[in-house]
């Protein structure tokens, strides 16, 4: 039997590797903040057009409902491109 493993009542055991390294903890620190920040930016850019719709309608001389179509006209291709390019 090798000196690298010990056999006990619970079966083979690996030798104690010592204290766990904290290299995984540093990477785990960003596991939640990065996706949250990305989601915030996606929603912020998607909905930043809505408050501008009345002013854009005034500038372009169009009614608000027509200019309001800019939001789905932007979000639908954006969502489809996200689904198509996701790997």
Q: Which domain holds residue 74?
A: 28-85
Map residue 26 onto helix, strand or coil: helix
Is 72 inside any structural domain? yes
Residue 38 lies in a domain: yes
pLDDT tens track for 63-86? 999 999 988 888 888 888 888 876
The pair phi, psi for residue 10, each rounded to 5°, is -90, 0
* Number of structural domains found in the chain: 1
Contacts 24+ apart (CB under 8 A), 12-16: none
Per-residue pLDDT tens over the stretch 35-63: 899 888 888 887 888 889 999 999 999 99
Residue at 55 is within a domain: yes
The answer as to whether 11 is a domain residue is: no
Q: What is the pLDDT of residue 83?
A: 83
Does residue 77 lie within any of the structural domains? yes
Helix, strand and coil percent figures for the chain, each rounded to 5:
60, 5, 30
Domain for residue 13, yes or no?
no
Task: Judge whether 6 lies within some domain.
Answer: no
The whole-number pLDDT of residue 63 equals 96
pLDDT of residue 78: 82
């Amino acid at each position: 039997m090798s000196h690298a493993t010990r056999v006990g009542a619970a079966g083979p055991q690996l030798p104690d590797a010592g204290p766990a390294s904290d290299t995984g903890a540093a990477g785990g620190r960003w596991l939640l903040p990065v996706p949250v920040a990305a989601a915030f930016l996606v929603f912020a850019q998607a909905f930043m057009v809505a408050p501008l719709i009345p002013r854009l309608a005034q500038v372009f001389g169009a009614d608000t409902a027509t200019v309001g179509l800019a939001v789905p006209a932007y979000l639908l291709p954006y969502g489809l491109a996200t689904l198509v390019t996701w790997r």
